[in-house]
Amino acid sequence: MDAERYAKVRSLFLAVEELSSDQQQDYLADQCGDDRELIEEVLSLLDEHDSESALVEGNAAKPPTLPGDVESSETTSSGTVSSAAIDSGIAPFMPSALGQQSTATGNSPAEKSHRQFSRRKRELPSKSGTGKNSGAKSSAKPKSAAGQATMQGSQRTHASPRYAVDSSPPRRPPSPGLWQSRAKRHRRINSGWLLLAAILPTVFVGFWTYTTVVEGLRQSTASELAGIADSVQLNIQRYLDDQSRLTRSWSQQVDLRKSILALIETAKDDDSADQLRDSPHATEIRSQLRSLSQLDDIKYVVWDRTGQIIASWLEGGEDIGGRVPPEGAANLARAMRGETVLFGPEILQPQESGFEPETTLPVMAEILPIHDEDGRIVATILIRGFGMFQTFDELFHQTSEAGGLDVYAVNSSGMMITNSPDAVERLCAAVVPTTMEGQQASEVKTVACKLRVSDPDDSIATSSLALDLRRSQPLTYSVAGVSNGASGSMLTPYPNYAGIPVVGSWRWIDGYDIGIVVERTSDLAFATARTVRYGFITLGCLLTLTALVAASRIAKRTALAQAAVHPLSRYEVMSELGSGGMGVVYRAKHNQLGRDTALKVLRADRDNLEDRLRFDREAKLAASLSSAHTVTIYDYGRGEEGEAYCVMEYLRGITLYDAVARSGYLDIGRTLFILRQVCESLGEAHHLGLVHRDMKPQNVMLSMDPSVGDWAVVFDFGLAKPLLPDANSYQTSETIWAGTPMYMAPERYRDPNKIDPRSDIYSVGCIAYFLLSGRPPFLECDPESLFALVLTEQPIGIGVHRDEEIPEEISGLVKRCMAKNVDDRFRSIDELAKHLDELIPKYPWSVEQARAWWRVHGEDLG
């Protein structure tokens, strides 16, 4: 959503907020015309809007104060806090706390914004009513009060409280009885089991057993297919990598390169074609490749930088002087850039240059760059004829035969590029009589590799004519997924290229643009389930005779199961730490281990499907990380009545924001030391394909480690998202921004759904700016003004806030992290970490220095 769009949505929302539902619809239809998307955005905001809660929320967003800030009388005193407590709203937002009067005299838009913010802050009444205007009672109109609440509410972050302390939403009380089991009620229910089991024993026992068997088969089949797909992917990847290394070693052979360089010089003459054919260097190339490959039938083509053929395996050199065909120009260009390019599998076609394919079977080749003595790429060479496709195809054939499966490869267009035994067999039955052999069988294999793996309807038979008709049909479920570069599995039967119901798993090989499909017919996959079903039908009558006995045993087992202790009874709730937008957080102690934990429970008023799924995702994403600088998840699940909970590490310390609030900006060496630990946490997350998306000082906990000194831990992965989302997991799609605006990268404003690890690098740069200067990079109450600052302006120099010059290499680090263009930032968090490793020795921060700081500023933490 750009600035213009945001302004339009905002003005429409304010215009219709007080209107009735019918009047809102009419007004929006009149103002928006045919723009249904704009109408839906405004209506969505209206559905979520609660004016009373918004007013309370704005008034509750009072920011803390930095040391030396004469504008506010409030101070920040953060004691021992858990990461989950801050996630739930204990760590407040701080723009005005960091907005003390700037000493800069510049007139840049960013500096003006800082001064405007300071003036607005002085004009707002203090929370206690003891500000400059505290002597007079407020006579502001309701509209002004609402405007004030909206202004402060716009500063609220993911970690800020959504409700004021005096107007908390209804939630479960933090009492030990919260987790007690309802065993008595379950025992009363068990008294009705005898009658129920006596009437329908066969139905219940049979259905339960059958569904259990089917689910077990599904899981077993899914694991087997996924394992085979992973194994084939690994083998194919390894094989292609080996072939790439082998041919690359040939292309780098000294004598071969010298012969090619000599031909390039010959090609500069006007009548070079005849000279190239008769050149002894052409013969040397052929001899050297035969020697390297130990094959007399090795085939190759050499192109110069212009795309002209200067050497080939053809004895007569008919194609010398010809040009690369248009469809091969892209591969040639990639090789000219230094890549090793895999060609095929592909069926060769006759060329205008006179080239006639010597085989109708698919071929695979490697296209490699040729460097001169100075390391410049001056030519490319294509090498084939060493059995690459035959081995490639045989790997799939062996897997198909060994497991009774249909295993084949496809390209990004959905075309089959290997000879699936099942496909060849069906084509043989439809195209070639069983008495034909030799050349016809070879032609069938060629046709199999031209097969577009589409879902045929009843009008399309498996014939040569059907190959053309298939081009207008949709791809099968598995090929549609893998041709888009995705990997996955499907245990619900779907039709394959022959219209037969199958289940399957598929994997995409990056770098080679090859998809692997492993399928098994659903009849074979679930044959055991049918046997079980028929067996229960046969035994139904016999089970009815023992209904009373079975009912008695079932009732006893069920009563025992239902009387089970609630999983959270292991924890003793000590106190409530806070409540945020999603959950209530308690400090709890494990009864057996005696370990303090942070227990987060989904709030009662957010107990809906979407919030439960979001709560699940946060716990699972955080649990997938194991870095020592990332908060640890101990347990997760649902209680007896469906309440979602998460047990996590209880962090003792203060946030980076609190550290600055207590002592002002930090030492350069200390800042670098802390940032390096943050990079450790984010580095692991990025390597696992996760982007945090809400990095800010309030989401990094700082504590004192006796042996290391400052110890930083990153938490709050509530907004984290995977780079390659799993189609089977819950995903969110933002049409408005999710995160903390002043720490969000510019591209996040433009496209909230875009996931890029370099957005986290921008946020790390903002944290570095905050730690070094004691202020956020941008301060503005008005969201539109903040939007414009982040997109277009550079923050005030760090030295201005510190009233001292800082080294250029430090300010350069921050500027590079906060570059507006993502390509100007560090390419990865690992590159940033490496750069920090180079700077840290120049700006040391010792354990003794850390201890001295904590003795003065962290004395209350114990």
Residue numbers in the known binding site are 600
Which two structure tokens, joined as six digits, stand for 266? 């010959």
- H/E segment holding residue 407: strand 406-410
Instruction: Name the 3-class secondary structure at 852.
Output: helix
Residues 447, 427: contact at Cβ < 8 Å?
yes
Rounded CA-CA distance 734/719 in Å is 11
Which two structure tokens, joined as six digits, stand for 366? 């490697």
Q: How far is CA 129 from the centre of its chain?
A: 47
Amino acid at position 306, single letter: T
- H/E segment holding residue 335: helix 329-336
Which two structure tokens, joined as six digits, stand for 814? 């921050």
User: What's the burial of 114, exposed, middle or buried (CB within 10 Å: 0-12/13-18/19+)?
Assistant: buried
Geometric angle at alpha carbon 766, from 761 and 770, rounded to 5°: 145
Geometric angle at alpha carbon 673, from 672 and 676, rounded to 5°: 80
Rounded CA-CA distance 570/588 in Å is 10
Which two structure tokens, joined as six digits, stand for 847? 């354990």
Return all residues near 417 (Cβ < 8 A) that are at least 6 apart: 344, 345, 346, 362, 409, 410, 411, 449, 514
DSSP 8-state secondary structure symbol assigned to residue 93:
-
Q: If we measure between CA atoms, which residue out of 681, 841, 696, 674 comes closest to residue 759?
A: 696
Residue 516 forms beta bridges with which residues? Answer: 409, 507
Alpha helices in 61-200 (DSSP H): 83-87, 109-123, 142-153, 183-190, 193-199
Rounded CA-CA distance 612/228 in Å is 34
Q: Which residue has tokens 């750069």? A: 835
Residue 507 forms beta bridges with which residues? Answer: 516
Residue 778 backbone phi and psi in degrees, to 5: -135, 135
Q: If we measure between CA atoms, which residue out of 731, 762, 732 comes closest to residue 749?
A: 762
Residues 428, 447: contact at Cβ < 8 Å?
no
DSSP 8-state secondary structure symbol assigned to residue 416:
B
Q: If we measure between CA atoms, which residue out of 498, 554, 491 comes closest to residue 190?
A: 554
- List, as residue ranges, the binding site for ATP: 600
Calculate helix-pair angle for 757-773, 829-839, nearest 10 degrees.
30
Rounded CA-CA distance 307/328 in Å is 10
CA dihedral over 158, 159, 160, 162, signed as positive or negative: positive
Residues 822, 756: contact at Cβ < 8 Å?
yes
Rounded CA-CA distance 268/281 in Å is 15
Residues 803, 718: contact at Cβ < 8 Å?
no
- Cis status, amide bond into 345, omega within 30 of 0: yes
Geometric angle at alpha carbon 57, from 53 and 62, rounded to 5°: 160
- H/E segment holding residue 691: strand 690-691
Strands (E), 542-658: 571-579, 583-590, 596-602, 633-638, 644-649, 654-655
Q: If we measure between CA atoms, which residue out of 390, 366, 386 comes closest to residue 449?
A: 390
Q: If we measure between CA atoms, which residue out of 365, 491, 392, 493 comes closest to residue 449?
A: 392
Rounded CA-CA distance 343/326 in Å is 14
